[in-house]
Chain A
Amino acid sequence: MEKKVSDISIVIAGAAGQGVQTVEELLVGILKMSGYNIYATKEYESRVRGGSNSTEIRVSSNRVSTFVNRIDILIPLNSAAFSHVESRLSEHSMIITDPSLLEGIQNLKEEQIISFPFSKIAKDVGSKIYANVVAVGAIAGIFKTDPKIAKNVLTNRFSSKGSKIIDNNYTAFLKGYELGKQVVENGKYAINLSTNNNIADEILLNGNQAVGLGAIAGGCNFISAYPMSPSTGALQFIAANSEEFGIIIDQAEDEIAAINKNIAAWYTGARALASTSGGGFALMTEGVSLAGIMENPIVIHIAQRPGPATGLPTRTAQEDLNLALYAGHGEFARIIFAPGTIEQAFYLTQKAFNLADKYQIPVFILTDQNFVDGYYNIPKFDLSKIKVEKAFIKTEKDYLRYKFTKDGLSPRGIPGYGDGLVRADSDEHTEAGQITEDMEYIRPEMVKKRYYKRLKLLEDVADKPEIVGAADFSTLVVCWGSNYTVVKEAIEEFGSKEIAMLHFHQLFPLHPNTKEILNKAKKVIIIENNASGQFANVLKLYCDLSIPEKHKYLNYTGKLFAVEDVLDILQKEAN
């Protein structure tokens, strides 16, 4: 295999607590500020210390936003790292390592190894703890970045620790940097990627942060949540900005409380986010139903992970579409979004708050571990495109919360704003919110209001799936949510005039033209991270499309799809 010249994948591997994350933060900071495109993601075990974890950083001349299996440079932080990433190493992989880690490691060729006594150099600087920074310096030296940039990054990173620590880190960095530079000068290894100064100005956000930022941009001012991987990052992002934006943060006693609090917050005119993972959401389902009958807005973020039950807490899956689609007893309308890119996560979450408010329904944002932990540089968001559209009204004396109207939407009042009384009930109710068992007129009218009429309104504003690739496709590769980036890169690399991707970021209700688009293809294949083809089943139900089993590429390992995996699929389907 020819070494790719447009992008380099660097993998840092070691035990939890060994500093994988620090190396990642420093390298990403230095390389991004030097004008390289960056994508990074981590895979980790559900523990705080020990085990084997790794982070991949792709450094590229072009935009990158997804994971490759291939390792161009490995930085092991312990010997176990080699076996942990063994299947991803090839004879083209370079290993930058302390010689002590190589003991007993076989199958590596001399020219693959760049070994420096990182620990010893670190000790000379003052302590073994600087070893990781020496390694960072070596990589920076190979990339020939400007040491001033690293100085800035180190200063920011260690600012709380005082100038001595900053100086030591910088000294350690420079020692590594010189070694890295020598590697290039000796002709052992070189990297020739192009840089772009604009990238330094771009922003870096992972999926959780994009959801959190989108929520804040959507006017979110209340969040009650119970921590659960991999969703916790969204809660913490919002908490970190709560004082600045006046957001009420409540760490709930459980997810049942969380959903009820968030619903009641909306009832009071606030904008609340319920953010959790599958297990936590399972506890919220009665609350979803409450939002349904109360015609109460709610935005729910589910960061999926493999189940059932506790499953694989830190791995990835798209297993909870069915759960989101069918959650809650009884019948009522809802919207389900699944963003494919960081930008989409921001804009869709922002929009979810307006849609929930306007249509008085639950709106779901479905992400997954792959999505929430991955990040890459993107241009700043265009804030002229967004607006917090509050849909509640000031009530009059004779206000009826569930007034029958032609389109089924009753103007939503909130308590304390206007002269009316806002009476919301979980029992079947009259227009005034009073309990009724009138099954001749009121009950059927209320069902029509909450279900048929509402769904019709939602279909009218549904987003279209996006086609990427050949305009005159004969094969469509269907995917949803986080698989956007991996399928897109694979399709672009594969370069067939026959194949296009059809990506859905709105899973329910589907855009009315969906069936028509699908019918244009001679062959439809689908890629999902689950065992049952949950979205394939949605297409079957709502588009009358049966995708044959052999065209369903279902990954239920807990691992994300790599570009290589999708290329294999495309190759197979093209033959």
Chain B
Amino acid sequence: MDFNDFNENDYDMPCEKAWCPGCGHFTAQKILRQALAELKIPNEKLVFVSGIGQAAKLPQYTKGHMFNGLHGRSLPAAMAIKACNPELTVIVNSGDGCSYGEGGNHFLAQIARNADITQIVHNNMIYGLTKGQASPTSLKGMKTPVQVSGVTNEPFNPLAVAIAMGATFVARIFAGNMAQAKEVIKQAIQHKGYALVDTLVQCVSMNKLNTFKWYKENTYELDDSHDVHDKKAAFAKSLETGKYPTGIFYKVEGNPTFSESSVAYKNDKSPLYSRNLDMNKLEKLIISKRKR
């Protein structure tokens, strides 16, 4: 492809997509493709990582390298891929169940590492693929085939958790607001360090409560008065419910990434695959074992 001519369609896989007509994952994928085209990232430099779920099928439909792993385990995989080859752009796409439920512990732990990856969570507030059970972000009272008299759990607040855990880039977008969403995604990918983009998407088949219309009516854009470097203000914004703010809540630049902190990159910046074992060092290490 011509280096100056990146097109969103270059990132699309020519295959049937197993998403329902009108599904928010389509829009989320389109926004991502547009952002990648504008950032001019070649397909061969991109690794799409996911777990399992409807959202997690995005790497299947998007052109780049793919690691479509286990339900809940996208973040550990993404962190390791970036750690082993910092030259790759690593983007995680998975659902709210996969990312915050099954993968909850990984969410906390990977934020703490500040691996230079972008985590896009397609938050439809429901388990889509398994047909409509509550997810960690489902709102109280929602009835499902399992939560038969309504959800009673307090909804998980990914943004507040991420800010509290020291995430270096925290954002929420509504896929229906494509203009803002694309800009946020671009910044998230460009951010050096871990970036969370909680992405509100409608599930047309399984979530009759949080529809496209509902998201549209219950979100508003953060404006310039919000200082993205003010952690306390970001935290306060993240606690807002009823009407949910969208945009970048918080970011901090310059924190060392996992790779930058790793001794493996102290004297050598090349990806691990290209390195060779130093037999002289091995010999020396063995000889050092003459002593206990």
Contact call B290/A201, Cβ cutoff below 8 A: yes
Q: Which residues of A contact B65 (CB under 8 A)?
A: 415-416, 421-423
Chain A CB within 8 A of B289 CB: yes
Chain B CB within 8 A of A85 CB: no
| B268: min CB distance to chain A, Å | 6
Contact call A224/B88, Cβ cutoff below 8 A: no
Q: Which residues of A contact B9 (CB under 8 A)?
A: none
Contact call A416/B44, Cβ cutoff below 8 A: yes
With CB as the reference atom, state the residue of chain A lying closest to B15: A434
Stretch among A115-123, A186-194, A260-268 lining the B interface = A260-268
Instruction: Name the residue among B69, B76, B266, B277 with the largest chain A CB count within 10 angstroms.
Output: B76
Chain B CB within 8 A of A517 CB: no
Contact call A253/B109, Cβ cutoff below 8 A: yes
Using a CB-CB cutoff of 8 Å, which residues 240-292 of chain B contact chain A? 262-268, 271-279, 281-283, 285-287, 289-292
| A285: min CB distance to chain B, Å | 11
Chain B CB within 8 A of A44 CB: no
Stretch among B22-30, B77-85, B168-176, B204-212 lining the A interface = B77-85
Size of the A side of the interface (Cβ < 8 Å), in residues, is: 73
Chain B CB within 8 A of A202 CB: yes
Chain A CB within 8 A of B64 CB: yes
Residue of B77, B106, B267, B274 near A264 (CB, 8 A) is: B77
Contact call A262/B80, Cβ cutoff below 8 A: yes
CA distance A93 to B159 in the complex (A): 68
Using a CB-CB cutoff of 8 Å, which residues 370-413 of chain A contact chain B? 380-381, 383, 388, 390, 392
Chain A CB within 8 A of B221 CB: no
Chain A CB within 8 A of B52 CB: yes
CA distance A29 to B292 in the complex (A): 6
CA distance A296 to B274 in the complex (A): 18
With CB as the reference atom, state the residue of chain B lying closest to A401: B66
Contact call A268/B286, Cβ cutoff below 8 A: no
Chain B CB within 8 A of A232 CB: no
Chain A CB within 8 A of B33 CB: no
Chain B CB within 8 A of A205 CB: yes
Residue of A264, A421, A435 near B64 (CB, 8 A) is: A421
With CB as the reference atom, state the residue of chain B lying closest to A26: B292
Chain A CB within 8 A of B153 CB: no
Chain B CB within 8 A of A248 CB: yes
CA distance A221 to B85 in the complex (A): 12
Instruction: Name the residue among A205, A257, A267 with the largest chain B CB count within 10 angstroms.
Output: A257
Residue of A209, A249, A270, A425 near B289 (CB, 8 A) is: A209
Contact call B109/A257, Cβ cutoff below 8 A: yes
Q: Which residues of B contact A264 (CB under 8 A)?
A: 49, 67, 69, 76-81, 84
Q: Which residues of B contact A29 (CB under 8 A)?
A: 291-292
Contact call A268/B84, Cβ cutoff below 8 A: yes
Given A204-B291, A260-B70, A415-B88, the answer on whether A246 and B285 have CB atoms closer than 8 Å is no
Contact call B69/A290, Cβ cutoff below 8 A: yes
Given A261-B77, A421-B65, the answer on whether A248 and B262 have CB atoms closer than 8 Å is yes
Using a CB-CB cutoff of 8 Å, which residues 2-37 of chain A contact chain B? 25, 28-29, 32
List 25 A-B residue pairs with CB atoms under 8 Å apart, sorted by A's residue number. A29-B291, A203-B289, A217-B277, A221-B275, A241-B285, A242-B263, A245-B278, A246-B264, A253-B109, A256-B73, A260-B77, A265-B81, A268-B80, A269-B85, A380-B286, A380-B287, A383-B286, A390-B273, A415-B44, A415-B81, A417-B273, A422-B65, A426-B52, A426-B69, A434-B13
Taking beta carbons and an 8 Å cutoff, which residues of B are in contact with A?
A: 13, 15, 18, 43-45, 47, 49, 52, 57, 59-60, 63-70, 73, 76-81, 83-85, 87-88, 105-106, 108-109, 113, 262-268, 271-279, 281-283, 285-287, 289-292
